[in-house]
């Protein structure tokens, strides 16, 4: 599984990244986790509001910090 957190490095983006890390630990799932801060790459996903969560190249969430529970649902 490939997971990307799209964002400029703002507090919400960092929080989402941390929540994804924690969700992976809690669920025992293995994934490649990447932070994407390049605005052109973010726009390539059609994302106009960050943070955004991309799982296996599919945008799953835009503009909010998901809870651990919500992230675990998406990665399971």
Catalytic residue among 13, 54, 66, 71: 13
Catalytic residue check, 19? no
Q: For residue 18, report the phi and psi dihedrals to the nearest 5 degrees.
A: -65, -40
pLDDT at 32: 98
φ/ψ bin of 35: left (φ > 0), alpha (ψ from -120 to 50), beta (otherwise): beta
pLDDT digits (tens), the chain, 76 positions: 999 999 998 999 999 999 999 999 999 999 999 999 999 999 999 999 999 999 999 999 999 999 999 999 999 9
Specify the pTM.
0.94
Domains of the chain: 2-64 (3.40.30.10)
Predicted confidence at residue 31, as pLDDT, reads 97
Q: How far from 73 is each of 9, 21, 36, 37, 42, CA to CA, in Å?
A: 25, 14, 22, 25, 23
Q: Any catalytic annotation for residue 13?
A: yes
Distance of alpha carbon 31 from alpha carbon 49, whole angstroms: 24
CA 73 – CA 11 distance, rounded (Å): 23
């Amino acid at each position: 599984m490939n997971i990307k957190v799209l964002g400029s490095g703002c507090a919400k983006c960092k929080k989402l990244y941390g929540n994804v890390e924690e969700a992976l630990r809690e669920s025992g799932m293995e994934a490649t986790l990447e932070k994407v801060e390049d605005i052109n790459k973010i726009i390539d996903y059609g994302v106009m509001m960050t943070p955004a969560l991309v799982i296996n190249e599919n945008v799953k969430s835009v503009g909010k910090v998901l809870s651990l529970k919500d992230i675990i649902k998406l990665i399971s």
